[in-house]
Structure 1
Amino acid sequence: MSRQSQHRLKDIARELGVSTSTVSRALSNHPHVSEDTKERVKQAVDKAGYQLNAMASSLRKSKSNIIGLIVPRISMYFQSAVITAIQNELQKCDYNLMIFQSNESPVLEKQLVSVLHALRVEGLIVSSTLYTEDFSPFDVFSKANVPLVFYDRVPKTYSAHKIQGDDYQGGYKSTLHLLDQGCRRIAHISGPLSCSLYSGRYAGYQDALKKYNVALDESLVFFQELTHENALKTCQVLFAEKPYPDGVFASNDTSAIAVMEYASRMKLNVPEDLKLAGYSNDPRVQIVRPSITSVEQFPYEMGEHAARLILDLVRQKVTVGRSLISLTTPIELIKRKSSKALVSADSY
């Protein structure tokens, strides 16, 4: 509590004819303080405009009611939906959310872990960067028995509670769908394989090709940060000379939209000349024409699972550090006009 706040407490105590400690206990709703005194203190506090320093109070009690969250970028559709779900679930139980973004930097992520540990958050939820391979900075939480939950982008080998989407099935179903539509030269635009998401989606892509006895053509596979600009650069390579790809499975919708844009420049018709599938079911894929086939990840449900798990850990309904929980949430392939040429109006 700041010196100014302490001074105001003394002023309130003097005005009411009680001790400073009585005022402090009244503000904390202590059971040994009468309701009449609590009400008198409340009125005096409101009149003085005094505000309780919640952080200082929580540090003294070793209980902050704050959960930390580290995300790659808040601006991502998937992450913004997850954040909303987490915050809504935490607020139901009177917990607050403190959000930081790593900007895809493992160095910054490491710094944020130290900051949140110093702030004594009661639990930490993390979706790691694309490039995080060393998860040892998170050891400070496990050593302190502070709950730690990873979601979406989770460690491949680091022991922790994990909630992730079924990325293998997402990659498998997307590629199989394009194969079912007659595609045989299917390009795959993926993120770095250091990230759990993209290794799963790439494995699904490979296995779908195997099912159709289509040989993997490595010249059609690209691993990169999935930005609009990078996807356009990839298209310059893919469509530099014939034979062009007849299908593209992109590991996010931003890349899928960029491919459609480039196809239009090349006077290629989607889906007649090029069939296309993305990932995440970003609202934008329903607005573009033709609408883009994409994988629904159910981010709100994933956020709810992450929030409920961290709350169970914090409230010791699940023992921290033991019986590590690994939950895989389902996906659904949403088929739209970008991946099929001749369909009835009722099919989409």
Structure 2
Amino acid sequence: MEAKKNKKEKNSIHEIAAALHLSPATISRVLNNHPHVHEATRSKVMAMIKKRGYKRNLIASSLRTNKTHTIGLIVPRISMYFHTEVITAIQNQLHAQGYNLVICQSNDQLEMEKDLTRMLYASRVDGVIASCTLFTTNFDHFDILVRNNIPVIFYDRVPMKPYPACIIKGDDVRGSYLAVSHLLELGAKRIAFINGPLSCNLYVDRYAGFEKAMMQYNVPIHKEAVFYHELNQENARRSLHKLFKKPPFPDALFAANDITALTALQFAKERGIAVPGKLRIVGYSNDPRTSITSPSVTTVNQFPGRTGRVIVRELLKLLKEPGQVKTDQLPVITPVELIRRMST
């Protein structure tokens, strides 16, 4: 019993401070990644912690500080390329700042998203990052976080009405405009558009960019060649069958995600439709598969790594000054870029 007690004492903050002739407060600042600590001191403390095998009591620490150093993240599907890259960037950035990340998947189900939000609140996370389901139009389930001064950041799929949270979104109007303008500059006259449901801000904005380009080039929009649905292979093939059932056929296709664009490429090969000779195709998101297909697919790069870093930057600001977000605060817009490849 005495041996166990001695071992515990040697591993305490006070024992480590005494061994290094530093104050316990300095040891605590190092453990909490406080910015105002000299690197030489930080290195010396971390070396001693490693030598002694010190393990911090996170539960006791959180009770003292009312902070868990844990952030919750809700995404529609972890398997989606864009979110995979964003998650990696967020986790790496947060880990460097001493935060843990709890990753949750809503499966694009609103009730699951609500349950996960309640769970993260009950788990006493310090902040929540969320990209919502395609069908989230009411964001009241996040109110419990806002009321308790837990910072909320929405990214990618975000509220379309004012909400007291930080909003980070890609420049989807511009991305879509660049994609469609590219097709029009190449001489396309009848552009089909397979879009996502308009319950989601992404697809409202991507339609706005499509419409802007078509109007600017004075090319008519054929309503029968514009589709709105969840963007998966099955739905894409249904829309493609309708587009090519009878003439006039489209000479270009803008797909609001890369899965749809890749499905269109496969469909064209099956039908003997030359790409880009008879059909030009543009996707959205720069999924790695678009660069290795034959032909490679023109797409819009959303810079997911940069998006993840911007999310963490804004979150750290809110963690230092909670409650500073206003309902009418402008969103943070991340850039996009058209990547021209052989499908156009």
Paired with 2:17 and 2:183, the residues of 1 have a C-alpha distance of 70
Paired with 2:63 and 2:209, the residues of 1 have a C-alpha distance of 47
Helix, strand or coil for the counterpart of 2:117?
helix
Instruction: Name the residue aligned to 1:15.
Output: 3
Residue by residue, what CA displacement relative to the aligned partner does 1:129-174 show, whole Å, maximum 9, x if unpaired?
1110110100011100111111111111141211110000111111
Taking a change above 3 Å as real, the CA distance of residues 140 and 337 of structure 1, as seen in their structure-2 partners, is same
Equivalent of residue 149 in structure 2, options 139, 145, 148: 145
Residue by residue, what CA displacement relative to the aligned partner does 1:219-239 show, whole Å, maximum 9, x if unpaired?
111111111121111111111
Instruction: Name the residue aligned to 1:67.
Output: 71
Taking a change above 3 Å as real, the CA distance of residues 33 and 176 of structure 1, as seen in their structure-2 partners, is closer
Aligned AA for 2:332?
L
Taking a change above 3 Å as real, the CA distance of residues 102 and 175 of structure 1, as seen in their structure-2 partners, is same
TM-score by length of 2: 0.85
- Whether contact under 8 Å (1:185, 1:246) holds in the other structure is yes
Which piece of structure 1 moves more, 189-198 or 207-216?
A: 207-216
**1:33 Cα deviation from its structure 2 partner:** 6.8
Aligned AA for 2:227?
F
Equivalent of residue 340 in structure 2, options 319, 335, 341: 335
Query: Which of structure 1's runs of 4+ aligned residues deviate more than 6 A?
Result: none
Paired with 1:98 and 1:301, the residues of 2 have a C-alpha distance of 20
Q: How does 1:243-254 map to 2 (within 5 A)?
A: 243-254=248-259
Equivalent of residue 29 in structure 1, options 13, 17, 20: 13
Q: How does 1:263-274 map to 2 (within 5 A)?
A: 263-274=268-279
**1:54 Cα deviation from its structure 2 partner:** 3.0
Paired with 2:132 and 2:294, the residues of 1 have a C-alpha distance of 33
Instruction: Name the residue aligned to 2:121.
Output: 117
Q: How does 1:135-214 map to 2 (within 5 A)?
A: 135-159=139-163, 160-214=165-219
- Whether contact under 8 Å (1:147, 1:320) holds in the other structure is no
Paired with 1:192 and 1:56, the residues of 2 have a C-alpha distance of 46
Instruction: Name the residue aligned to 2:95.
Output: 91
Residue by residue, what CA displacement relative to the aligned partner does 1:195-214 show, whole Å, maximum 9, x if unpaired?
11110000110111111212
Instruction: Name the residue aligned to 1:277.
Output: 282
Instruction: Name the residue aligned to 2:109.
Output: 105
Which piece of structure 1 moves more, 52-61 or 75-84?
A: 52-61
Unaligned 5+ residue runs, structure 2? Answer: 25-44
**1:35 Cα deviation from its structure 2 partner:** 3.3
**1:216 Cα deviation from its structure 2 partner:** 1.6
**1:333 Cα deviation from its structure 2 partner:** 0.5
Residue by residue, what CA displacement relative to the aligned partner does 1:248-305 show, whole Å, maximum 9, x if unpaired?
0000001000001001111000000000100001110010011110001001000000
Instruction: Name the residue aligned to 1:4.
Output: none
Count matched residues: 318
Aligned AA for 2:172?
D
Taking a change above 3 Å as real, the CA distance of residues 142 and 30 of structure 1, as seen in their structure-2 partners, is farther
**1:15 Cα deviation from its structure 2 partner:** 2.6
Helix, strand or coil for the counterpart of 2:129?
strand
Helix, strand or coil for the counterpart of 1:193?
coil
Paired with 2:181 and 2:228, the residues of 1 have a C-alpha distance of 20
Paired with 2:85 and 2:12, the residues of 1 have a C-alpha distance of 35
Instruction: Name the residue aligned to 1:3.
Output: none
- Whether contact under 8 Å (1:68, 1:124) holds in the other structure is yes
Instruction: Name the residue aligned to 2:222.
Output: 217
Instruction: Name the residue aligned to 2:232.
Output: 227
TM-score by length of 1: 0.84
**1:32 Cα deviation from its structure 2 partner:** 9.9
Paired with 2:293 and 2:216, the residues of 1 have a C-alpha distance of 31
Superposition CA RMSD, Å: 2.7
